Structure 1
Amino acid sequence: MSQVTGLDPLTRWRLILGEASDGACRSAGCALSADAIAMDAALDWLYGRDDEDGSRNISRQGGRGDSALTTPQWINDIHRLFPKETIERIERDAIEQYAIDDIITNPDVLSRAEPNETLLKAVLRTKHLMSPDILVMARKLVQEVVRKLMERLSREMALAFSGVVDRRRHSRFKIASDLDFRRVVKDNLKHYDPQTRRLTVEKLHFFARNQRHMKQWQIILLVDQSGSMLDSVIHSAVTAACLWALPGVKTHLVAFDTNVVDLTHDVDDPCELLMKVQLGGGTDIQKAVGYAAELISQPEQAIVVLISDFYEGASPAMLIQRVTELTAQRTLVLGLAALDSTAEPAYDRDMARKLVAAGAEVGAMTPGELAGWLAAKIGR
């Protein structure tokens, strides 16, 4: 949800007039909130390049943040803080008036950029502004970041679905959580040094895991593609790709705003999938849940994972009804207010409580935690 809509008139005028109006605003009792300070920093980063006489000072990098913003950070900030129409105006000014186009038009900048999630999000938010040749370079950057995310999650996914620990057997696979601590200590006690009080470990032992035998399950990921959910969109694409590779699991990935788009045919290529996602727009959650219900072949072997901030732009009553119908047929419904590396969501808590009352489980998870949750439900 955009923060600008909740600003009082004095704060709005302070953001419009800039730092020069600080004294007058303080006299009128205007104190900037944390969000307003972030907005001020983002606006000053761009419009602070103008000197008082109206001339352009390209070297000036204003702002009230703890550190100077980079272009990718700035792009991500304005998408988090401002409504869509404001974002479009700010981005247009950045490109047309201030020539800040290093991320979308400058191949040298993209070729030197270190692939990371911040840059990935900036690319996904501005890909519609890129020329075809720049888009090719941006796609390579997206591929590299996605590759690293998939490597990490694939290990967590394999561990989650590998079965329970068997303490009667040992394995050559070295997984930290399966360490046989007692045997390691016992076998290496002869290397204990009383003077330094240190134990030198020459050999490690790890428990084996029983093979998990699963029935055929259907997992449907419904992903809210509004701008505030971009982190979750990225990790949902990676999660779907990892689930796709698991035996016994049929995976669907569906993105939605006011429309529903089935992305399942691209789920094995998360880079291509992310490049197709259209961020922004309204939110019709109940329509997406209704679409998921139509995909289900065996209700008791299906899991619907709704990844959204739960701010329903259509019919809250219909959303609750659809979730109630799913849980009544013994389909598992998990509502995730966030699916990302931090799992720190901002969401409609009232709607979340209603979803729980309708039989859903609601929370926020990292992709690894979701893998563990799914494995526990499937393997029970």
Structure 2
Amino acid sequence: MADTDNADQLLRRWRLVLGRYAKPLETGDWSQDDGRMDASLDYLYGREYERKGMLRAGGGAGGGGSLDPSQLRAIDWLQQARKLFPQEVYERVQGHAIERYELSGLLRDPAVLASLEPNQALAKALIGMRGRLSANMHDAVRAIIQRVVEEATERLRKDFVNAIVGRRNRFRRTQVKSAQNFDWRATIAANLKHYDQASGRLVIARPYFNARVKRSLPWDVILCVDQSGSMMDSVIYAAVVAGILSSLPGVNVRLVVFDTSVVDLSHLASDPVEVLLTVQLGGGTNIGRAVQYCEQLVSNPQRTVLALISDFEEGAPPGPLLACLKRLAESRVTLLGLAALDERAQPVYDQGMAQRLANQGMHVAALTPQHFAQWLAEVMA
């Protein structure tokens, strides 16, 4: 009986995946809620058939309720989807509606916008559409971006604080007990006498934790961020990272964004929300011009980190860029090239240009924000 139930569930799920063009199920295997879910998914994903020149078939397969696309507005559909699907599924469907199918009607009503789940996909859509939104949407847009930034900051801040504010001192102990400070070698050595042979376990009577050494000499960190259309994820994380670094002692942050023009947003570095409401995503790419501008900001080369965040798709002749990097490297500026600042660290970049940058002394990698924190700590040690 259990095997039959599992088979029925599997068949039902495949029917929902394949849509109305799949073979209809028997009436007993298809509930009214299934029909509603099927129609809701078809409202969104049926657009794939339309893109291929196919007309939608009429009526739902399985006898469930109908959400006829001609009678359903995007906003009504969204409210239906929220009720029909688990939270995780709903958030994914919402993201597809905005990113893949451009249901911009979801983003033109402040009340509807306030009801959406704040996430990075929604923030990206709002930043991309910002210039086309009405004035009464400004506060709702800011509130969404604020929540996304706060969530990202909360997730990343600890990594940057632990990595950059101080390095572990293995010769001094502390009462601050955290996983980052745990000294497993000293703990095992000190507690070997408590080894229980009967259970084969080491009983930890007293754990040991390393203290951290406060850094005193300041560092200058220049974040040079490509704001061309393909770099939207990186721009969001760069803004958050700039905000976190700006709050740390001993770190001076300069934030520069560029496409074919260069804009210095250092005065906003401590406010990532304002940065994201200011950037103008799109346009071409002139990395050389941006790096030349950053070169003018260097006052103490040996204590300066220049982090270039880009896909390295240079639209201008590369000569000026390579010559500038060579000068910076020779002056002992630490050069970091981040091919992606996406938390998934999916590298999409010009590998040939990345190699040419590396040949001029730039360290190039594709890193999550957490790994970027560790990388900064290593070069600033």
Matched, 1:134 2:137: yes
CA distance in 1, matches of 2:268, 2:175: 35
Deviation at 1:131, TM superposition (A): 1.8
Quick one: which of 105, 112, 121 aligns to 2:124?
Answer: 121
Task: Provide closer, same or farther for how the CA distance between residues 314 and 301 of structure 1 changes in structure 2, counting only shifts above 3 A.
Answer: same
Contact 2:98 2:122 (C-alpha < 8 Å) held by counterparts: no
The counterpart of 2:341, out of the listed 329, 339, 342, is 339
Name the counterpart of 1:76.
99
* Distance apart, 1:45 and its partner CA: 7.7
Aligned letter for 1:305? A
Kept in 1, the 8 Å contact 2:312–2:350? The answer is yes
**Matching of residue 226 in structure 1 with residue 228 in structure 2:** yes
* C-alpha separation in 2, matches of 1:113 and 1:328: 50
The 10-residue stretch of structure 1 (281-290 or 328-337) with the greater mean CA deviation from structure 2: 328-337
The 1-side partners of 2:46 and 2:133 are apart by 22
**C-alpha offsets along residues 291-330 of structure 1, whole Å, 9 cap, x if unaligned?**
1011111222222111110111111222212211211222
- Contact 2:165/2:248 (8 A) holds in 1: no
Of 248, 251, 270, which aligns to 1:249?
Answer: 251
Over the aligned positions, Cα root-mean-square deviation in angstroms equals 3.3
Task: Give the match for residue 108 of structure 1.
Answer: 111
Larger Rg: 2
Aligned counterparts, 1:300-319, within 5 A = 300-319=302-321
Distance in 1 (CA, whole Å) between partners of 2:93 and 2:100 is 10
For the residue of structure 2 that corresponds to 1:172, the secondary structure is coil
Percent identity reads 38
Q: Give the number of aligned pairs.
A: 313
* TM-superposition CA deviations, 1:234-259 (whole Å, max 9, x none): 11001111111222221111111111
Which residue of the partner structure matches residue 147 of structure 1? 150
Structure 1: which amino acid aligns with 2:231? Answer: M
Deviation at 1:202, TM superposition (A): 7.6
**Secondary structure of the structure 2 residue equivalent to 1:70:** helix
Deviation at 1:122, TM superposition (A): 1.8
The alpha-carbon deviation at position 285 of structure 1 amounts to: 0.7
Partner of 2:355: 353
| Distance in 2 of aligned mates of 1:248 and 1:284 | 31
Moved more, 183-192 or 323-332: 183-192
Q: 2:215 aligns with which of 209, 212, 216?
A: 212
AA matched with 2:170: R
CA distance in 1, matches of 2:299, 2:222: 12
Give the structure 2 partner of residue 371 of structure 1. 373
The offset of 1:199, in angstroms, is: 6.9
Mapped pair 1:44 → 2:76: no
Alpha-carbon deviation of 1:169? 2.7
Relative distance call for 1:272 and 1:162 in structure 2 (3 A) is closer
User: Contact conserved, 2:46 with 2:56, CA < 8 A, in 1?
Assistant: no
Which amino acid in structure 2 is aligned with residue 101 of structure 1?
Answer: G
User: 1:365: Cα distance to partner?
Assistant: 1.3
Q: Distance in 2 between matches of 1:168 and 1:148?
A: 35
Checking the alignment, whether the CA contact within 8 Å between 1:51 and 1:57 is kept in structure 2 is no
CA separation in 2, counterparts of 1:115 and 1:131? 20
SS in 2 for 1:133: helix
Shift of residue 272 of structure 1?
1.0
Q: Which moved more, 1:176-185 or 1:147-156?
A: 176-185
Letter paired with 2:336: L
Q: What is the rounded CA distance, in whole Å, between the counterparts of 1:71 and 1:129 in structure 2?
A: 20
The 2-side partners of 1:130 and 1:123 are apart by: 9
Counterparts of 2:117 and 2:193 in 1: how far apart (Å)?
A: 46
In structure 2, the partner of 1:279 is 281
- Residues 56, 369 of structure 1: CA spacing in aligned structure 2 closer, same or farther, 3 A cutoff? closer
Partners in 2 of 1:42 and 1:287 — Cα distance?
A: 45
* Deviation (angstroms), 1:47: 5.5
How far the C-alpha of 1:138 sits from its partner, in A, is 1.8
Give, in whole Å, the separation in 1 of the partners of 2:284 and 2:185. Answer: 56
Secondary structure at 2:284 match in 1: coil
Q: Go from structure 1 to structure 2 and tell me whether the alpha carbon gap of 1:45 and 1:276 turns closer, same or farther (over 3 Å shift).
A: farther
Partner of 1:327: 329
Alpha-carbon shift at residue 231 of structure 1 (Å): 0.8
